[in-house]
Structure 1
Amino acid sequence: MLPSYADQNGKVHGPPKSRIKSKLFGYLRLIISDTKTRNLFFFLLLNTSFAFVELVYGIWTNSLGLISDSFHMFFDCTALVAGLIASLIAKWRPNERYTYGYVRAEVMSGFLNGLFLVFIAFFIFSEAIERTFEPPEIHHERLFVVSVLGFFVNLIGIFVFQHGGDHGHSHGGSSHGHSHDHHGHSHDHHGHSHGGDSSSKIFEGIFLHILADTMGSVGVIISSLLIRFFGWHIADPICSMIIAFLITLSVIPLLRDSGGILMQRQPKQLDKKLPDVYRRIQQIPGVVSVQSPHFWSLSSDKYCGGIKIEVSFNCDPRYVQQTVRSMLLQIGIQEVYIQVDFPSGVSL
């Protein structure tokens, strides 16, 4: 047994293997303690096991449809792993370097996984075109059983992530606000800690992947029946093209939304709400103009931003700040920086 040792600060550490084992068990306990991550973990084990079964049977039966579906399942497994890791990282607390915390881990994992899926879809599609001109001999009697089993595995995933992976938000945490008045302008920075679920993008993406997998399994079942009863071996590469198309189709929303967040796009959920808020702000007594509005998604369920309000000299800046903050919180912006300025050339 390896001895423990103390570092330069006097903190006692156990053997390296013991510390790694302790961390792994700690992460496992954290995964099991939450319903969503627990469901994700067990479905990952089921999906990975069956992906190996599909791959072996696909090689045995010489079915590109089954092989391509197994690769899709493997990439779904990477989505599940990335989602699991991102769910854990997103719970890490903010620090002096990552002042917003690590909630964008879910966006990064979704975007990167989407790119990988587009790549594999292109690979499957190009291989299917080649096989269209030279359809291979396929053992359909072995293909059908595995395809049906794959379909039921995906049905389990759909049930788990549609009924057990709802995107409820709990508004916990604390809120604070402060304002200070200087010569010519006043600021208000309101931070609202949002204790809700920051993993909605993860589970939305996983559900889309599994749904595409299910449709792909249906395609493989249909192709195996066509080969068995009609001898249409060309049905296998056509099925592969459909699977590739479904993969791409399922990934587009994930890439669009996660890419928009990474590019600091204004939250699309607020596209119709913000213009109305600007109009209401300008109707506040004493407000001259609304300037420099900037709003973005920190993660898929948390919005931040800043706005500058120019007011007349006889206006109460604190009243304007509180009113504007209330309007923005009503449409879901949890953290906002409000700057209230007097017209240029006017001083207190």
Structure 2
Amino acid sequence: MSAVADRRWLGIALVLIVGFMAVEVVVGVAAHSLALISDAGHMLTDAASIALALVAIRVAARPAVGLYTYGFKRVEILSAQANGITLLLLAVWFVYESVRRLIEPPAVSGPLVLITALVGIAVNIAAAWSISRANRTSLNVEGAFQHILNDLYAFIGTAIAGAVVWATGFARADALAALLVAVLMARAGWGLIRESGRIFLEAAPAHADPAMIGPRIAAIPQIVEVHDLHVWQITSGELSLSAHVLVGAGVDCHAARSEIESVLHTEYHLDHTTLQVDHAGDNHGGQGHDEHCVESHGPVHRSAE
């Protein structure tokens, strides 16, 4: 899917979210409903997530120039992390307010809360559908999509709370619904921080574990050793691998590299690879292969033969 199409679908979702968020704040204040106001706060982070995703799509499209050899592809990871931190901070504030209102519950207008929440459910379904049409392999886009889903669940809880307040007069149901929203915000925020942090720390994704890839390469016939093996993500869905591979004497280095690349592509979906292939014992100094890498990074994988 093209970046232009992604921007269009994200733009539609952004208009829906911002428009309803403004209405929800007004109604929440009028109804004295913390659940509605907390929902509006969650929608604010949703809107910020979508807006940052739109900016990231545009900035990431810039070519790699000068000192930025990878371009600006990690802008989306920066925005995802900022959004996750904001979610956690808002969650803390809503927990505090919810506990305070559980102790001293204010009068809450049940009918207003219920009607507004029902409209919110419809708006979030439309926004979630719009974002689902964009490229969800992007951490930002997927994060925004998950936020909208969390908002949808929160609105369902708020609608139930409004119905309870309206039917029974139990005003604390509103604060309990706000607590549910806070838990969902914290969960989504931590997920974004964890995933973006893994990318910043150059961690390998779960499906491309170096502890599995190293022995697999070493098991290829005529491969003697693999070390300095690194797997990382430049940005969401863009994986890279580099390694130093030693092959047996008389082995065609180019053919060995091609076979390794085929295995990495077929079994691990790794296409962006940088492989240094040398003959074992050929260090241009006659003292063994250790001269190539005095201190290899990470474990050394050797052939079982």
Q: Fold match, TM over 0.5?
A: yes
Q: Match of 2:119, as an amino acid?
A: L
| Runs of 4+ residues over 6 Å off in structure 1 | none
Opposite residue 97 of structure 1, the aligned amino acid is L
Quick check: 1:277–1:327 contact (8 Å CA) kept in 2? no
Equivalent residue runs for 1:97-116 within 5 Å? 97-116=67-86
Query: Are residue 44 (structure 1) and residue 14 (structure 2) matched?
Result: yes
Instruction: Provide structure 2 residue ranges, at least 5 long, that are not aligned to the other structure.
Output: 287-305
Query: Does the 8 Å CA contact 2:16/2:127 hold for their aligned counterparts?
Result: no
Counterpart selection for 1:78 from 34, 48, 65: 48
Partners of 2:261 and 2:117 in 1: CA distance: 55
CA displacement 1:51-88 (0-9 Å, x = unmatched)? 11111111111111111111111111111111111111
Query: What amino acid maps onto 1:165 in structure 2?
Result: A
Structure 1 counterpart SS, 2:271:
strand
Q: What does 1:128-277 align with in structure 2 at a 5 Å threshold?
A: 128-162=98-132, 164-167=133-136, 200-271=138-209, 274-275=210-211, 277=213
Shift of 1:124: 0.4
In structure 2, C-alpha distance between the alignment counterparts of 1:261 and 1:281, rounded to whole Å: 24
Give TM-score, length-normalised by structure 2: 0.87
| 1:118 aligns to 2:88 (yes or no) | yes
| Aligned partners of 1:286 and 1:314 also within 8 Å | no
Q: Which has the higher helix share?
A: 2
Query: 2:214: which partner in 1?
Result: 278
Note the alpha carbon deviations across 1:16-49, whole angstroms, 9 max, x for none.
xxxxxxxxxxxxxxx9x82221111122122111
How far apart, CA to CA, are the structure 2 residues paired with 1:346 and 1:100? Answer: 31
Task: Tell whether the 8 Å contact from 1:302 to 1:334 is kept in structure 2 after alignment.
Answer: no
Identity of aligned residues (%): 28
**In structure 1, what is the Cα distance between the partners aligned to 2:231 and 2:103?**
52
Q: Provide the C-alpha distance between the structure 2 equivalents of 1:342 and 1:332, rounded to a whole number of angstroms.
A: 27
Q: Deviations over 1:120-178 (max 9, x none)?
A: 0111011101110000011223222222111111011122223x1354xxxxxxxxxxx
Q: Secondary structure at the match of 1:314?
A: coil
Q: 1:234 to 1:336 in 2, by over 3 A?
A: same
Q: Provide the alpha-carbon RMSD of the alignment.
A: 2.0
- Report if aligned partners of 1:91, 1:103 keep a CA contact under 8 Å in 2: yes
Please give the alpha-carbon distance, in whole angstroms, between the structure 2 residues aligned to 1:160 and 1:129: 35
> Is contact 1:285-1:315 (8 Å) kept?
no
The answer for the alignment partner of 1:297 in structure 2 is 233
Q: Distance in 1 between matches of 2:105 and 2:154?
A: 19
Q: How many positions carry a matched residue from both structures?
A: 283
Cα–Cα, structure 1 residues 312 and 239, in superposed 2: closer, same or farther, change >3 Å?
same
Contact 2:43–2:151 (CA<8 Å) still a contact in 1?
A: yes
